[in-house]
Chain A
């Protein structure tokens, strides 16, 4: 009898405890695209850390770059009855049906890093993305401020032709330097976002510009191309970081290494922490019913040699970049 009572008491308190624990913590499912790039791997690592910080039960499904896997993952998140779903969409179309199901089940969906087709606007709570035009602008404004009134010929390493990120970062940079007539883009060519191509294109720029004497600064649409360009400049006997100013975008660990060595000047961060603001938006929405704006823009932070690049490199190198 006593034993039975004890068992019952344990069971009851167990259930109560479980119920309490469930009420306290949110469960969020994240349909991640995959781990195709270092940045994406870092995003996954940072998202997990951010979830842990907020005591959120976080479930990640890696879609291996396939939309059908993302749709499947969202459906099973709905079936599990999670409190919110994060989605980093691999393509911008084809989400209507499954997002409608989420809406019917009253599960808010937050888009991370990429947006979907405008038709689906009412189907998600908010989108946390960075503004790539703004990123380019931050880079351009830094350069204008740094060179002051001196004339400055800039060579530009573009991203993949036609990629929206490349178009936007180009436009943003042009906006950033528009006010300064002394800063001019003299050459601009695609380096396909890769290190090897960045080096190759930089070599041809150096040849075309009298051994690099006429180049005052290099702007690259991503850090990887800049790392290649730095290599090319060193091989041509130039001193990147002192003879030639460099500014690029993304803030991957390797550029901090170059900055610590004095070979690079500045980078604009594309933060891998998209989940942090998304968690905060979901928590506010769940607790107080606060509806966030449709677009949460992440900070495009500028880092220079003055920001202790060595320490940032150490902090970033294990994120999976």
Chain B
């Protein structure tokens, strides 16, 4: 019981930071504490939330995916061209781009697995490739005028004064819930944790490591594609420069959410709250209106430092009592998290 609580500590801390931050903002700006602001947080960060879910899987497995921002950019350009220039029906274009993204992710996963290359390098190559291709397709912003887009961007569940749960927000919430189920309740999820704990041990346990690795990067790219669809809904256009640097925002959200960068430990919910915290900082800055927007980056950087330090301290504390009583030290939370070893 205590152990499971300790396991949840980082996520609880992130949530507490978010709630405290929201409270603070509400005290400073009376209009802040409204459903409208909460719903805006969901809508405005939907694309980031979706890629952060994929990034959580990748990072827990001990990898990294730097290509997601470029995949979003590529997706928006592809969709705009497919729908506006090539006359592909929007739904078919969605299906097509998700298949392309899946193939792209599977290739990166396969290269990482079979050529035994660091994920950092492979996905960096993927990042340049996807961004380059989107520039090749078009350097201009292309508007998407399809009826479906107008319909989807108008469609929202409205409540209160001006608050609306938009389609992008709904998609993000569905992805977050789906991601939680997949990570915490399925065999695939358990394999992801195992992979992050130790690759060699995972292989010895008879888990299909190549298949899991390929699937993880496929999942990340598909979610990046979905995020690109949401992004194109959000702006009703395709632009090769969209979502530059989103991969780094996603990594920051995942780490702030309590996931260990070395892998083996983390929660989808934490990443979701990490995204909301970043959105909260941005909202605060535009409510203030006189601060430089670069403070958002500074605040995110400070939070990252704080959370990494916090993780190290909790890890350290978790190990201490055992040493003192002379018992063998318990396995790191990574192993506990996926149930490989229980002392």
> Interface residues, chain A, CB within 8 Å of chain B?
29, 58-69, 71-73, 75-81, 91-94, 96-97, 100-101, 104-105, 117, 119
Report the Cα distance A39→B177, complex, angstroms: 47
Q: Is the CB of A97 within 8 A of B154?
A: yes
Residues of A within 8 A of B40 (CB): 72, 75-76, 79
Residues of A within 8 A of B47 (CB): 68
Of B197-205, B230-238, B298-306, which binds chain A? B230-238
Partner of B37, one of A76, A94, A104: A76
Residues of A within 8 A of B154 (CB): 97, 100
Q: Is the CB of B289 within 8 A of A58?
A: yes
Q: Is the CB of B237 within 8 A of A91?
A: yes
Partner of B44, one of A63, A72, A94, A105: A72
Report the Cα distance A76→B231, complex, angstroms: 18
Report the Cα distance A104→B47, complex, angstroms: 24
Partner of A75, one of B34, B44, B231, B236: B44
Report the Cα distance A60→B283, complex, angstroms: 12
Partner of A94, one of B32, B237, B286: B237
Q: Is the CB of A72 within 8 A of B282?
A: yes
B43 in contact (CB, < 8 A):
yes
B242 in contact (CB, < 8 A):
yes
| A/B interface sample: 18 pairs, CB < 8 A | A59-B287, A60-B289, A61-B285, A62-B294, A67-B239, A68-B44, A68-B47, A68-B234, A68-B243, A72-B286, A75-B40, A76-B37, A76-B283, A76-B286, A80-B29, A93-B141, A93-B239, A117-B143
Task: Tell me the minimal C-beta distance from A109 to chain B in angstroms.
Answer: 15
Partner of B153, one of A77, A92, A96, A105: A96
Residues of B within 8 A of A76 (CB): 37, 40, 282-283, 286-287
Partner of B286, one of A29, A65, A68, A104: A29
B99 in contact (CB, < 8 A):
no
Report the Cα distance A6→B298, complex, angstroms: 44
Q: What is the chain A residue whose CB lies nearest that of B47?
A: A68
Q: Is the CB of B37 within 8 A of A79?
A: yes
Residues of B within 8 A of A71 (CB): 44, 234-235
Q: Is the CB of B37 within 8 A of A67?
A: no
Task: Tell me the minimal C-beta distance from B24 to chain A in angstroms.
Answer: 16
Q: Is the CB of B242 within 8 A of A68?
A: yes
Q: Is the CB of B286 within 8 A of A59?
A: yes
Residues of B within 8 A of A97 (CB): 153-154, 234, 236
Task: Tell me the minimal C-beta distance from B249 to chain A in angstroms.
Answer: 10
Contact indicator per residue, chain B 178-222, by CB within 8 Å of chain A (1) or not (0): 000000000000000000000000000000000000000000000
Task: Tell me the minimal C-beta distance from A33 to chain B in angstroms.
Answer: 11
Task: Tell me the minimal C-beta distance from A221 to chain B in angstroms.
Answer: 20
Task: Tell me the minimal C-beta distance from B285 to chain A in angstroms.
Answer: 7
Task: Tell me the minimal C-beta distance from B14 to chain A in angstroms.
Answer: 21
B145 in contact (CB, < 8 A):
yes
Report the Cα distance A174→B87, complex, angstroms: 40
With A63-B293, A68-B234, A76-B40 in contact, is A104–B162 under 8 Å at CB? yes
Task: Tell me the minimal C-beta distance from A116 to chain B in angstroms.
Answer: 10
With A81-B31, A91-B141, A104-B162 in contact, is A61–B239 under 8 Å at CB? no
Report the Cα distance A66→B47, complex, angstroms: 14
B290 in contact (CB, < 8 A):
yes
Report the Cα distance A96→B144, complex, angstroms: 11
B244 in contact (CB, < 8 A):
yes
Residues of B within 8 A of A94 (CB): 141, 143, 234-237, 239
Q: What is the chain A residue whose CB lies nearest that of B235?
A: A94
B142 in contact (CB, < 8 A):
yes
Residues of B within 8 A of A117 (CB): 143
Report the Cα distance A91→B240, complex, angstroms: 12
Q: What is the chain A residue whose CB lies nearest that of B283?
A: A76
Q: Is the CB of B239 within 8 A of A59?
A: no
B4 in contact (CB, < 8 A):
no
Report the Cα distance A63→B231, complex, angstroms: 17
Report the Cα distance A63→B235, complex, angstroms: 15
Which residues in chain B, 215-270, are within 8 Å of chain A measured between CB atoms? 231, 234-237, 239, 241-244
Residues of B within 8 A of A96 (CB): 150, 153, 236
Task: Tell me the minimal C-beta distance from A65 to chain B in angstroms.
Answer: 8
**18 extra interface residue pairs, beta carbon distance < 8 Å, beyond A93-B142, A94-B237:** A59-B286, A60-B289, A62-B293, A75-B44, A76-B37, A76-B283, A76-B286, A78-B36, A78-B162, A79-B40, A80-B287, A91-B239, A93-B141, A93-B143, A93-B235, A96-B150, A97-B153, A105-B162
Q: Is the CB of A79 within 8 A of B36?
A: yes
With A76-B40, A76-B287 in contact, is A67–B34 under 8 Å at CB? no
Report the Cα distance A80→B34, complex, angstroms: 10
